[in-house]
């Protein structure tokens, strides 16, 4: 079977909150994408590259990969450093 990566996707630039960032994604790695000579689009004959599976926990994603005998790599999310600010801090210094 192909190799897959298990990760939590980054939030979009339009998303300011921390909601909907708790899903783990299992995504297969693609093989050599080719360029369509007519339109110039990138394409691939590999249909697994279009597949993204969502899991609620990392353990469920790992168990699924082991059950289906999928070689996987886990990409751990980076911790965000949250600096709490107050509007009044703009005027105190």
Spell out the domains of the chain, with CATH numbers in brackets.
1-7+23-29+42-93 (3.30.160)
Which of 58, 43, 48 has its CA nearest to residue 4?
48
pLDDT at 63: 96
In degrees and rounded to multiples of 5, residue 28 shows phi and psi of -80, 145
pLDDT at 19: 67
Laid out side by side, the sheet with 52-55 consists of 52-55, 24-28, 3-7, 71-75
What global pTM score does this model have? 0.70
Mean pLDDT by 10 residues, the chain (93 residues): 86 70 87 78 77 93 94 88 84 78
Report the SS3 class of residue 30: coil
């Amino acid at each position: 079977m192909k190799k897959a990566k298990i990760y939590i996707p980054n939030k979009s630039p339009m998303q300011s909150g921390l909601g909907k960032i708790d899903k783990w994604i299992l995504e297969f790695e693609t093989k050599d994408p080719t360029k369509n000579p007519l339109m110039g689009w990138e394409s691939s004959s590999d249909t697994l590259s279009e597949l993204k599976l969502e899991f609620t926990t990392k353990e469920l994603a790992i168990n699924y990969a082991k059950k289906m005998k999928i070689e996987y790599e886990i990409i751990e999310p980076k911790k965000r450093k949250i600096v709490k600010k107050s509007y009044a801090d703009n005027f105190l210094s």
